[in-house]
Chain A
Amino acid sequence: MDDTWVVIPLYNEEQVIGEVITGVLAEFPQVVCVDDGSSDNSAALAAAAGARVVRHPFNLGQGAALQTGFQYALSDPEMKYVVTFDADGQHQITDAVAMVNRLRAGEADVVFGSRFMDDRSKPNFAKRVVLRAAVGYTNMTTSTRLTDAHNGLRAISRPVVARLDITQNRMAHASELVAQIGESKARYVEHPVHILYTDYSKAKGQSLWNSINILADLMLR
């Protein structure tokens, strides 16, 4: 897995980030945390856990952090795959490994994680409704057909990463990423993943109100 960079956008997750990175490093030796101007000790803890840390001078948003991580990974000539991974510990390393292996097998150029392909993940009712609406919107406006558009776990091969240019700094980047992959005609598959809704991730998660902001960002772009 030395040819795979795990990109973790990081913003104020000091309670869990060390543990998350330790877990990822067990399978993936190359981990870059893009610290998006955290006001807590996240960046130092990430570096101490063994991740490479790229620090935004101030908060720019998760989309901007992902794009920074992509560019960092692209500057490594040996990089073949990029995995995007959430900092709050809701993703499973085993899922990430399986997704990279599907890329490696040549099955696709992009593997999207989906929490709706089986019933392991248990989003609450409101979250389910919003996520379904987001998928509906993304499928409607892009040339892709997905079951879960706002999943932070993805595995992307180098040529596709090189073509991505995320300009939506805030949360609308997820749809933008899907749209760009759709336009690039890359081959994509979805992979069933388990999203672990801990009390911690629930408390930190997206407010439902934010879905309105995401929609506005997408329409006014």
Chain B
Amino acid sequence: MKIVLIQLVLIVVVVLVAARLLRGRGARTQAVRRLGLLIFAALAVWSILFPTVWSRFAKLVGVGRGTDLVLYALVVAFLSFTLTTYVRFREFETRYTKMARRLALDEAGPPRAAATGAEPQEEPYAGS
């Protein structure tokens, strides 16, 4: 059964990419991502010049048509994009949460001093 090979390859790639992107940050991940982009661009140029190359490559790994192979590659690329975006979004969220919390706590002042003072708290945003 020839299709097994492509299934195997795709699964391995999906898992590796996901693990890689989820785990590492910093210089190495960025370098890997940029290399990936270079390879992607090179492949794109290659396949524009020689459209049959996908078909030949597809036969090599056991997929019927080159179009199918492109589709599979797209699925993998999209999945890794989704994961990277998600992770980045979470990092961003953590950062602005901390900033907003700091702001809120600084504005509220120390708890004991105000609790013993008789005056109720001022309304900083009244009317907004």
Contacts and interface: CB of A to CB of B under 8 A. Distances in A.
A44 B114 CA distance: 16
A150 to B, nearest CB: 21
A203 B98 CA distance: 31
B71 interface: no
A169 B97 contact: yes
A32 B111 contact: yes
Q: Majority SS of interface residues in chain A? A: mixed
Nearest to A78: B112
Contacts, number: 68
Nearest to A34: B104
A68 B115 contact: no
Interface in B90-116: 90, 93-94, 97, 100-101, 103-105, 107-108, 110-112, 114-115
Contacts of A169: 93, 97
A75 interface: yes
B101 A58 contact: no
A19 to B, nearest CB: 17
Interface residues of B, number: 23
Interface stretch (B29-37, B62-70, B117-125): B117-125
B101 A75 contact: no
Contact of B105 (A68, A77, A79): A68
Contact of B115 (A29, A44, A53, A77): A29
A167 B101 CA distance: 12
Interface residues of A, number: 33
A72 B86 CA distance: 30
B78 to A, nearest CB: 16
A32 B114 CA distance: 11
B126 interface: yes
Interface of A: 5, 29-30, 32, 34, 43-44, 47-48, 50, 52-58, 60, 64, 67-68, 71-73, 75-79, 167, 169, 220-221
11 contacts: A5-B111, A32-B111, A44-B126, A48-B120, A54-B108, A57-B103, A57-B104, A60-B100, A64-B101, A76-B110, A76-B111
Given A60-B101, A72-B111, 8 more contacts: A44-B126, A47-B120, A58-B100, A67-B101, A73-B111, A75-B110, A75-B111, A79-B111
- For the complex of A and B, list the 7 residue pairs with the smallest distance between their C-beta atoms, beginning with the closest: A54-B108, A76-B111, A47-B121, A68-B101, A54-B104, A56-B104, A64-B97
